[in-house]
């Protein structure tokens, strides 16, 4: 490891900031409806401005009294009528979505009200089914757009690529992001509901295997530089979704799974129908023996995908990147095709994937953009830091260069000026906001790991000679203001 890591973008990636929330639709289409992330882990909200409707709707669907009398029914219809009237006005004004679903629902509610109004009261049994239908209609009125906190950022980067015409930029476009993601998972060590990712994406016209290899090389170089321990790179190819490739394999896998269905747990049994590939992800001890006997995708890749995979492996070898092939690595998001990879590290227990990624050609097109190739990854920053801490490799908190210990009004003014000049010269400076006795100030400087204490009292200010104490050995020397800067620049 070099002592000073380069601060330049050595692989040429530029930053992108994508929104914290997006229309739910974007994630549902990209990641897939049957994935865990979309089907149960997203934080999803209706984003609306017509707040008055919420109260009216609650009042409409809540039964204060039972509908055991004609008056109670009239009261109920009044409340529902108030809601529908307000919703219709909001619809006309465009304050709730002007969708055909909303139009139909409002119309249906109107008809149900009219129907119930002309209904001669006979008893609860006759009216209850109609009331239930009306309540359903009331609940179905959509107040606003459905949005989700981002569970990942690849979908948003692809959306941005389309929306901001990045096709016009020199290709491929190489982007990175750092930020919070949200998934409603069961929290445990290394698994959080708000977690942080450092991700990178390469988008453009080429799916050259060298791109896959360079992306992987980049993240491995980063981990190497951080001295992350026990790093293990697993790679696989999951082919592409054609009849002669993954689709045929999934059919075979499904058939094989049907044969052993009774021996599988409820999660895997369910996945045979919804997403058979995910059965391969199972960590259940009792399923491992069965999974080992299942057909493997590597034996079913089409010629193009097999060639691509072989070339990716060759490119990794050219770069000296050590990998392990793992036929069970399918990843949990639907947009992947061909190359998939995952990196694990030491000290993380069961949540040991510190990075996951893969190729997603076709995702941009699926979202309405031009045919585009894509590959990327995301590092789980929380897990990365956990692993570095466990192995004692986490960077220590940086100490200050100079702690300014000042006493007295005049010295405070000088201290403020000194702090400004020292910071301008690039030093890290701590300037206590209130006066402290010198003894206490020096103790504080020590705790903050400062290298020097600049002591400014009445004497120093009057003489124009400032005292600099080297905290490591306790030695002291006096300097004029300009000499001090020259001296510190030589030392630090
Ligand atoms: P992912 O595998 O879902 O992929 O997440 C990537 C990494 O984020 C995981 O390997 C893990 O380190 C971290 N992570 C995921 N969920 C949690 C959680 N609940 N708590 C803590 N860390 C977590 C993606 O998100 C893809 N968008 C990666 C990608 C980019 N593929 C192509 N481009």
CA distances from 344 to 56, 306, 435 (A): 52, 25, 50
The C-alpha atoms of residue 198 and residue 179 are separated, in whole angstroms, by 7
| Mean pLDDT, range 470-483, rounded to an integer | 94
> Over the stretch 292-349, which tens digit does the pLDDT of each residue have?
999 999 999 999 999 999 999 999 999 999 999 999 999 989 999 999 999 999 999 8
**Token pair belonging to 239:** 């082919």
Q: What is the pLDDT of residue 71?
A: 82
| Mean pLDDT, range 182-206, rounded to an integer | 97
Query: 355: Cβ below 6 Å to ligand 1?
Result: yes
Token pair 């691509």 in the structure block, residue: 308
Q: What is the pLDDT of residue 3?
A: 43
What does residue 490 show for φ and ψ, rounded to 5 degrees?
A: -70, -35
Q: Whose CA is nearest to atom 4 of ligand 1?
A: 356
| Mean pLDDT, range 430-442, rounded to an integer | 95
Q: What is the pLDDT of residue 6?
A: 58
**Token pair belonging to 473:** 């050995």
> Over the stretch 218-252, which tens digit does the pLDDT of each residue have?
999 999 999 999 999 999 999 999 999 999 999 99
Pocket test for ligand 1, best of 197, 344, 345, 350 (most atoms within 8 A of CB): 197
Mean predicted lDDT score pLDDT of the chain: 93
Percent of the chain with pLDDT over 70: 97
Query: 201: Cβ below 6 Å to ligand 1?
Result: yes
Q: What is the pLDDT of residue 254?
A: 96
Token pair 């739910």 in the structure block, residue: 24
Enter the pTM of the model: 0.86
What does residue 4 show for φ and ψ, rounded to 5 degrees?
A: -115, 110
> Over the stretch 350-366, which tens digit does the pLDDT of each residue have?
888 999 999 999 999 99
Output the DSSP codes for 93-115: TTSS---HHHHHHHHHHHHHHHH
Q: Which atom of ligand 1 is nearest to the CA of 384?
A: 12
Q: Whose CA is nearest to atom 11 of ligand 1?
A: 380
Q: Is the pLDDT of residue 121 over 70?
A: no
Q: Whose CA is nearest to atom 29 of ligand 1?
A: 377
**Token pair belonging to 198:** 């450092």
The C-alpha atoms of residue 463 and residue 449 are separated, in whole angstroms, by 29
Q: What is the pLDDT of residue 445?
A: 95
Query: 195: Cβ below 6 Å to ligand 1?
Result: yes
Note whether 343 and 231 are within 8 A (CB).
Answer: yes
Query: 429: Cβ below 6 Å to ligand 1?
Result: no
Q: What is the pLDDT of residue 65?
A: 64
Query: 377: Cβ below 6 Å to ligand 1?
Result: yes
Q: Whose CA is nearest to atom 17 of ligand 1?
A: 191
- What is the torsional sign of CA 175, 177, 182, 187? positive
Question: What confidence tier does 387 reach under pLDDT thresholds 50, 70, 90?
Answer: very high
Angle, helices 70-92 vs 100-117, to 10°: value is 150
> Over the stretch 161-192, which tens digit does the pLDDT of each residue have?
999 999 999 999 999 999 999 999 999 999 99
Number of C-beta neighbours around residue 120 at 10 A: 6
Rg over CA atoms, the chain: 32
Q: Which atom of ligand 1 is nearest to the CA of 331?
A: 2
| Mean pLDDT, range 432-439, rounded to an integer | 95
Number of C-beta neighbours around residue 410 at 10 A: 15
Q: What is the pLDDT of residue 1?
A: 37
Q: What is the pLDDT of residue 55?
A: 93
CA distances from 206 to 62, 171, 209, 243, 416 (A): 58, 8, 9, 23, 56
Strands 194-204 and 173-182: antiparallel
Query: 185: Cβ below 6 Å to ligand 1?
Result: yes
User: Coil, strand, or helix at residue 318?
Assistant: helix
> Over the stretch 68-101, which tens digit does the pLDDT of each residue have?
677 888 889 999 999 999 999 999 999 999 999 9
Cα 353 to middle of ligand 1, angstroms: 8
The C-alpha atoms of residue 335 and residue 362 are separated, in whole angstroms, by 8
**Token pair belonging to 56:** 């009216």
Question: What confidence tier does 2 reach under pLDDT thresholds 50, 70, 90?
Answer: very low
Note whether 203 and 158 are within 8 A (CB).
Answer: yes
Q: Whose CA is nearest to atom 7 of ligand 1?
A: 380
Cα 38 to middle of ligand 1, angstroms: 14
The C-alpha atoms of residue 437 and residue 59 are separated, in whole angstroms, by 65
């Amino acid at each position: 490891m070099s002592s000073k890591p380069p601060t330049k973008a050595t692989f040429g990636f530029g930053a992108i900031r994508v929104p914290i929330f997006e229309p739910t639709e974007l994630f549902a289409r990209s990641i897939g409806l049957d994935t865990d992330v979309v089907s149960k882990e997203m934080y999803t909200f209706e984003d609306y401005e017509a707040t008055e409707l919420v109260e009216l709707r609650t009042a409409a669907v809540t039964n204060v009294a039972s509908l055991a009398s004609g008056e109670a029914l009239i009261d109920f219809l009044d409340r529902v009528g108030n809601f529908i009237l307000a919703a219709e006005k909001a619809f006309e004004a465009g304050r709730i979505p002007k969708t055909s679903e909303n139009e139909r629902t409002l119309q249906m509610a109107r008809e149900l009200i009219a129907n119930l109004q002309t209904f001669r009261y006979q008893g609860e049994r006759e009216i209850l089914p109609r009331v239930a239908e009306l309540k359903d209609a009331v609940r179905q009125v959509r107040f606003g757009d459905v949005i989700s906190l981002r569970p990942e950022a690849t979908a948003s980067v692809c959306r941005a690529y389309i929306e901001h015409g990045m096709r016009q930029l020199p290709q491929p476009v190489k982007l990175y992001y750092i930020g919070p993601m949200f998934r409603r998972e069961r929290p445990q060590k290394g698994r959080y509901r708000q977690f942080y990712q450092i991700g990178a994406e390469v988008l453009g016209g080429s799916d050259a295997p060298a791109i896959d290899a360079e992306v992987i090389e980049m993240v491995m170089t980063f981990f190497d530089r951080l001295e992350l321990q026990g790093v293990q790179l697993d790679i696989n190819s999951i082919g592409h979704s054609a009849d002669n490739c993954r689709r045929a394999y999934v059919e075979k896998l499904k058939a094989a799974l049907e044969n052993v269905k009774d021996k599988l747990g409820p999660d895997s049994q369910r996945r045979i129908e919804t997403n058979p590939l995910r059965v391969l992800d199972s960590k259940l001890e009792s399923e491992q023996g069965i999974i080992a006997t299942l057909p493997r995708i590597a034996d079913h890749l089409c010629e193009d995908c097999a060639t691509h995979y072989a070339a990716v492996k060759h490119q990794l070898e050219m770069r000296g990147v050590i990998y392990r092939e793992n036929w069970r690595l399918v990843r949990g998001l639907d947009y992947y095709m061909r190359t998939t990879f995952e990196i694990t590290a030491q000290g993380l227990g069961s949540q040991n994937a510190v990075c996951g990624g893969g190729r997603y050609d076709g995702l941009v097109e699926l979202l309405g953009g031009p045919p585009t190739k894509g590959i990327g990854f995301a590092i789980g920053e929380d897990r990365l830091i956990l692993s570095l801490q466990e192995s004692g490799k986490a960077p220590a908190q940086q100490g200050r260069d100079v702690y300014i210990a000042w006493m007295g009004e005049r010295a405070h003014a000088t201290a403020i000026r000194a702090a400004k000049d020292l910071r301008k010269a690039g030093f890290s400076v701590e300037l206590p906001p209130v006066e402290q006795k010198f003894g206490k100030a020096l103790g504080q400087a020590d705790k903050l790991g400062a290298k020097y204490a600049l002591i400014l009292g009445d004497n120093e200010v009057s003489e124009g000679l400032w005292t600099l104490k080297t905290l490591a050995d306790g030695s002291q020397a006096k300097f004029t203001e300009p000499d001090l800067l020259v001296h510190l620049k030589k030392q630090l």
